[in-house]
């Protein structure tokens, strides 16, 4: 029996099943699900994945591809098309496509299961004091002197913190080492370097 990844590559012609890109493809298991099958998993590119996972701002032009992919017979592709069109409701073309998109009752229930359709498409990203997007591994500079709770450490303004780590559940926090001590730092008090 063929592995799931291989089945998806064969089915999609080794292209993103949403935008047809041929670069940086990954198997994406459309949530929620109890086990991965070809019907509930799709092959997608890194750009689609980053925007689905809200790690990148929604690029309306990129998603015009949904006018084609929404007609795909694969339930997982239909569900993701429906979810992304809902996130883009403020765009007239997305609403027109959403009006045409038909999902079976079962697939519509699956599409609504994550509550993503109630999302306004805004993305929560870790951003520094100047609004620059922060990534794990970045180097930042403190824009304010900070007293570290529970210690005598005072991190002075201008201190460079290398190789930061994003706090997943909170976009206003990052972790970094100052004087060998791992601390949580508020993103509003840092400026991305370089």
Assess whether 22 and 113 both reside in one domain.
Answer: yes
Residue with tokens 């303004």: 157
Residue 129 is assigned to a structural domain of this protein = no
**Domain finish residue from 118, 151, 174:** 118
Range(s) of the domain holding residue 154: 140-192
Assess whether 18 and 92 both reside in one domain.
Answer: yes
Residue with tokens 């089915």: 11
Assess whether 62 and 149 both reside in one domain.
Answer: no
Assess whether 93 and 167 both reside in one domain.
Answer: no
Assess whether 10 and 93 both reside in one domain.
Answer: yes
Please, which residues have CB within 8 angstroms of residue 74's CB and are 6 or more apart in sequence? 11, 17, 38, 39, 42
Residue 127 is assigned to a structural domain of this protein = no
Residue 134 is assigned to a structural domain of this protein = no
pLDDT at 125: 78
Assess whether 35 and 103 both reside in one domain.
Answer: yes
pTM: 0.68
Assess whether 154 and 111 both reside in one domain.
Answer: no
Residue 186 is assigned to a structural domain of this protein = yes
pLDDT at 62: 96
Distance (Å, whole) CA 66 – CA 59: 12
Other residues' Cβ atoms within 10 Å of the Cβ of residue 115:
8
pLDDT at 54: 83
Token pair belonging to 145: 């002197």
3-class secondary structure, 157: coil
pLDDT at 39: 95
Assess whether 19 and 91 both reside in one domain.
Answer: yes
Residue 54 is assigned to a structural domain of this protein = yes
3-class secondary structure, 145: coil
Mean per-residue pLDDT pooled into runs of 10, the chain (194 residues) = 91 96 95 91 96 87 96 96 92 94 95 76 77 88 86 87 88 89 90 88
Q: Is the peptide bond before 148 cis (omega within 30 degrees of 0)?
A: no
b vs e for 66-97, b when ≥16 Cβ sit within 10 Å of the residue's Cβ?
bbebbebebbbbbbbbbbbbbbbeebeebeeb
Assess whether 105 and 152 both reside in one domain.
Answer: no
Residue 37 is assigned to a structural domain of this protein = yes
Assess whether 88 and 42 both reside in one domain.
Answer: yes
DSSP assignment letter at 127: B
Which residues pair with residue 41 across a beta bridge?
A: 29
Distance (Å, whole) CA 163 – CA 69: 39
Assess whether 93 and 177 both reside in one domain.
Answer: no
Assess whether 149 and 114 both reside in one domain.
Answer: no
pLDDT at 65: 96
Residue 14 backbone class (left: φ over 0; alpha: ψ -120 to 50; beta: rest)? left
As for how many domains the chain has, the answer is: 2
């Amino acid at each position: 029996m063929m592995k799931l990844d291989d089945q998806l590559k064969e089915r999609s012609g080794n292209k993103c099943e949403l935008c047809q890109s041929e670069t940086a493809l990954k198997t994406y298991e459309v949530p929620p699900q109890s086990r991965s099958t070809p019907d509930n998993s799709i092959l997608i590119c890194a750009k689609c994945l980053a925007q689905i996972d809200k790690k990148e701002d929604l690029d309306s032009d990129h998603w015009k591809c949904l006018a084609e992919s929404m007609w795909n017979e694969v339930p997982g592709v239909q569900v993701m098309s429906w979810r992304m069109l809902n996130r883009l409701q403020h765009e007239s073309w997305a609403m027109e496509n959403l009006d045409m998109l038909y999902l079976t009752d079962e697939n519509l229930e699956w599409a609504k299961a994550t509550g993503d359709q109630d999302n306004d498409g805004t993305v929560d990203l870790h951003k520094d004091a100047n609004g620059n997007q922060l990534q794990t591994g970045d180097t930042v500079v403190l824009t304010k002197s900070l007293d570290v709770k529970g210690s005598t450490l005072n991190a002075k303004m201008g201190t460079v913190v290398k190789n930061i780590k994003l706090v997943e559940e909170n976009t206003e926090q990052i972790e970094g080492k100052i004087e060998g001590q791992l601390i949580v730092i508020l993103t509003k008090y840092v400026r991305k370097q370089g």
